[in-house]
Structure 1
Amino acid sequence: MDSPVLTRREMRGAQPADTAPDPLNQTLHHAAIARLHRLIDECGDTGVSDMHIHPDKPMRRLRSGKLFIPDGSEVVFSQAEIMMWLDEATEGKHDPLNPRGHASVALATEKYRVRGTFRKSLQGVTVTFRIIPGVVPDVDAIGVPQVIQNLIHRDSGLLIMEGPTGSGKTTAIAGLIKLANKTYDKHIYMVEDPTEFVHEEIGATSIVQREIGTHVVDYPTAIEDALRSKPNIIVVGELLNAATAKAALHAATTGHLVITTAHAGSITEALDSFIGQFTADEQPQIRSRFSQSLLGIMVQKLVPTVDGRLTAAREVLLNDLNFTEIIRDDKMQMIRARIAGSKGCFTLEDSLADLVVKNAITIETAIGAAKNPDDLRETLARKGVNL
């Protein structure tokens, strides 16, 4: 027998002051939420990472990077059901899709947390749900390099996780926070949009988790507020704009370890993107501050393995005096060569070549994922791989 599902409104015991509850609407609303919760649990239990739902169309599921519709078990939702989910997730907010045309939300069943994005489209209001594992991962289990793990011990500076949406940036940060939580008694302040992993405090560690739109209006405001509580570590969900980048940089240069994400596909792109958010007049000063506060950058990309799963290929920069000078003096053309000659640093092509040597991925997969296929071929040849 299914456990009763309480909606957010029922848990709050709230009703609009001037509106009498409609029993039929309440029943339909409750049924729509219960059906969604059951499906989320089913998908999570079978390794599905994403659910793509369009009104009156079979739901697509994503597992190991491949979209599919299960044979003989098509699931279809109406536009009315999707709007009930949106109403529930936004707690009845009036017209939540305006003015941006989309809304990011967080939901939870008894087993899983879910990140959802509702958006207007030609097909109506559609939604994508990403299922978050119920257990915060260990950094070793997800393969975060030791050189990146070591940065969690630093007292101040900026660590940036880069990569496309769905590449595991948030998961990597969650693993690092779990490591800090287990290892040190620290004050950790996290602000995300939305919150994905929920961290349980260990020992004397204090963890504050806030969500944009629910607990605070935007990232710059959240970072400013964080500084008043003297945290050791500040997690900023995403460097959305210059204001967020400037606030994160200020925090990193005033005695805080700041960990954040962005969407670049390489180290060089990451550096150019960060600086490029600012005006030409601001850039010289930003370059100087950024070059001195940056601890490291990890770019991550998921690639299919030979056994049909996904694994991460990475590119890593660890800042040192040479990189500081290169960034400060805007000599970005030197970055790639410097990565190749720096201890602890490696390119995406190095990582892909290692995966080929371990027989984790095919040569064709590696070449397709490489930013510089010719460099990859040279690296594979040096490692004795026949092309």
Structure 2
Amino acid sequence: MNNETLWLIRLGLDAKLFTRDHAFAILKAAGRDAALMDFAQRLIDDGYVTDVEQLETLAGNAQARAAVGPPPGNPLLDEDPAAGDATASSGPAAGGTGPALDFPFDRIAALDDAALAAAVRALLIDTGRQGASDLHLSAGSRPFVRKHRALTPITDRILTAEESLRLNTVLLAEHQRKIYLERRDYDLALALDAKNRFRVNLMFHKGGASGSYRMIPAGIPKLDELGLRNLDTIRKLLSYHNGLILITGPVGAGKTTTLAAMVAELNAQRQDHIITVEDPIEVVQLPQGCNVTQREVGPHTKSFFSALKGALREDPDVIVIGELRDLETIEMAISASETGHLVIGTMHTSDAATTLNRLLDVFPPAQQTQIRASVAESLRGVVCQRLLPGTRGGLVVACEIMVSNLAIQALIREGKTSGLRNTMETGVREGMCIMENVVLELYQQGKISKDTALANVTTRNVRAKIT
């Protein structure tokens, strides 16, 4: 039996797309030497598979893996279709670490570029399929994945500088490789197919080349599916046609996913022009009720600031900014929100008070009075989120919401952001909630552990309720 068909059987059984009996039936009719596409077509024709799109994806994956070698074990004999993965010589069986991700780490030098590229594609697809959020390939260390916040090596082999450079550049086009080697830092969006997209950061460190690959969800989730609190309040923020909405949180808190879900909701419910500025474009938004223009820093524009400046002349209704990271971008975002546009942006901050301080403190003292008045007038709300490890596995969203009202506006104008907590506590009826109270509720509901709860609260009286 050829390797391509063997791999398709392995992947199809693992995905529960068809059964072992179905595979035997096809092989009996078509012969054990059936080619990949003949085998796949018979699965469809005989009614064993109805999800043709998933079958096509697995077939492409099977072809990529077959370029490297046959699947470990025999998928038609293994009791568990995933069990054979653990026998990979360079994977977990070699060192007892990590999830079963089959990759020939011990044969990188022996593979030509085409075979190595196929193997890296298969590794990325497998990483996402097993629920990991990130894959790291770095010189001088073991390859590892991040799943539910925990880091896990996938092999005991330490990558050399030469191996890491090949792994992290084999999927790049020539112009991308040139940019990476010249700048020594490079961000890009990598699309293997319609369902497998990755946000990639490539860099160099003391040991050599390093790459971080963040998995992007195949579909755009709905707001209802994210686990956010007070959805009516969030939807009210999105109902405005002008003003500034901030989505904040630490790295890996799900800001990109929340932002994509918000844009998708606007796209479905309005008839507007939405312009997004991202670095890089991660989630592709196809036009529905809205016309969506997505621009990427680098290929489409020099900077967030230049894109925002141009956007004001491009008749937008909604402007989405991937990250508010410097004075010019923040100033332009506030200006756009004051001139009849709904502006949605993200920041790397931990709560509403920190967000406002970061937003305002980038301006020089001479501008403080003016900018505080502008922010007080234009800010619609702040949604700050964290992803916490759940007691039943997976991650749980903890979400703080601040909605601008007369009291909040007065605090911003007067520079008294220290009073935000008390004001937010009295604004529960308006849909506001404080991060520490949300963390406490999640703990009391048994959704997060005591240690996780204590790590995410600092106030003495809240900690006392946990301990």
**TM-score between the two structures when normalised by the length of structure 2:** 0.72
Q: Does 1:250 align with 2:335?
A: yes
Matched, 1:368 2:455: yes
2 CA distance for matches of 1:75 and 1:139?
Answer: 41
Q: Is 1:349 the counterpart of 2:432 in the alignment?
A: no
Q: State the partner residue of 1:270.
A: 355
1:300 aligned to 2:385?
yes
Deviation string for 1:168-202 (max 9, x for gaps)? 01110101111111222221111100111111222
Q: Is 1:169 the equivalent of 2:252?
A: no
Counterpart of 1:353, as a letter, is L
Distance change (3 Å), C-alpha of 1:79 and 1:324: same
1:157/1:89 CA distance change after superposition, 3 Å: farther
Shift of 1:83: 5.0
Residue matched to 1:334 = 419
Unaligned runs of 5+ in 1: 6-26
Alpha-carbon offset, residue 105 of structure 1: 1.2
1:373/1:365 CA distance change after superposition, 3 Å: farther
Task: Note if 1:215 corresponds to 2:300.
Answer: yes
Structure 1 Cα separation of the partners of residues 228 and 314 of structure 2 = 29
Give the corresponding residue for 1:106. Answer: 189
Distance 1:338 1:172, change over 3 A: same
> Matched residues in 2 for 1:315 and 1:288: separation?
24
Structure 1 residues 85 and 285: alpha-carbon distance in aligned structure 2, compared to 1, 3 A threshold: farther
Alpha-carbon distance in structure 2 between the residues aligned to 1:89 and 1:295: 44
Q: State the AA in 2 paired with 1:117.
A: N
Match of 2:215 in 1: 131
The size of the alignment, in residue pairs, is: 355
Q: Indicate which of 259, 262, 267 corresponds to 1:181.
A: 267
Distance in 1 (alpha carbons) for counterparts of 2:282 and 2:435: 27
Aligned to 1:63: 147
- Distance (Å, rounded) in 2 between the aligned partners of 1:32 and 1:281: 57
Are 2:168 and 2:202, in contact at CA under 8 Å, matched by a contact in 1? no
1:286 to 361, 371, 379: 371
Deviation for aligned residue 1:57: 3.9
Cα distance change on mapping 1:135 and 1:76 into 2, 3 Å: farther
SS of equivalent residue, structure 2 residue 218: coil
Verify: 1:88 aligned to 2:160, yes or no. no
Letter paired with 2:189:
A
Q: Secondary structure at the match of 1:346?
A: coil
Contact 1:60 1:68 in 2 (8 A): yes
Question: Distance between the aligned counterparts of 1:344 and 1:328, measured in 2?
Answer: 22
Shift of 1:143: 2.0
Residue 276 of structure 1: how far off its partner (Å): 0.9
> How has the CA–CA distance of structure 1 residues 32 and 215 changed in structure 2, closer, same or farther, with 3 Å as cutoff?
farther
Residue 326 of structure 2 aligns with which residue? 241
Q: What is the distance in 1 between the residues matched to 2:121 and 2:361? A: 42
Report the CA distance shift for 1:188/1:104 in structure 2 as closer, same or farther (over 3 A).
same
Q: Which runs of 4+ in 1 moved over 6 A?
A: 72-75
From the superposition, tell whether residues 149 and 56 of structure 1 become closer, same or farther in structure 2 (CA, over 3 Å): same
RMSD, matched Cα: 2.2
Per-residue deviation, 1:88: 2.7
Q: Secondary structure at the match of 1:228?
A: coil
- Find the structure with the greater CA-based Rg: 2
Q: Does 1:193 align with 2:276?
A: no
1:81 match: secondary structure: helix
Give the 5 Å matches for 1:1-12. 1=4, 3=60
Deviation of 1:261 after TM superposition, in Å, equals 0.5
CA displacement at 1:58 relative to structure 2:
2.8
Supply the distance in 1 between the matched residues of 2:116 and 2:175 (Cα, whole angstroms). 15
Matches within 5 A, 1:109-120: 109-110=192-193, 111-120=195-204
Q: Find the partner of 1:46 among 108, 130, 148.
A: 130
C-alpha spacing 1:86/1:247, structure 2 compared with 1 (3 Å): farther
Distance 2:459 2:115 in 1: 52
Taking a change above 3 Å as real, the CA distance of residues 32 and 249 of structure 1, as seen in their structure-2 partners, is farther
Checking the alignment, whether the CA contact within 8 Å between 1:106 and 1:115 is kept in structure 2 is: yes
Distance in 1 between the 2:200 and 2:157 partners?
Answer: 21
Q: Structure 1, residues 35-81: CA drift from partner, whole Å, max 9, x if none?
A: 221111111111010001113643101111111124x7969581341
Q: Quote the Cα distance in structure 1 between the aligned partners of 2:113 and 2:271.
A: 43
Which whole-Å deviations, capped at 9, do the CAs of 1:69-114 have from their partners, x for residues lacking one?
Answer: 24x796958134135247438534345552xx42211101113110
Give the deviation of 1:31 after TM superposition. 3.3
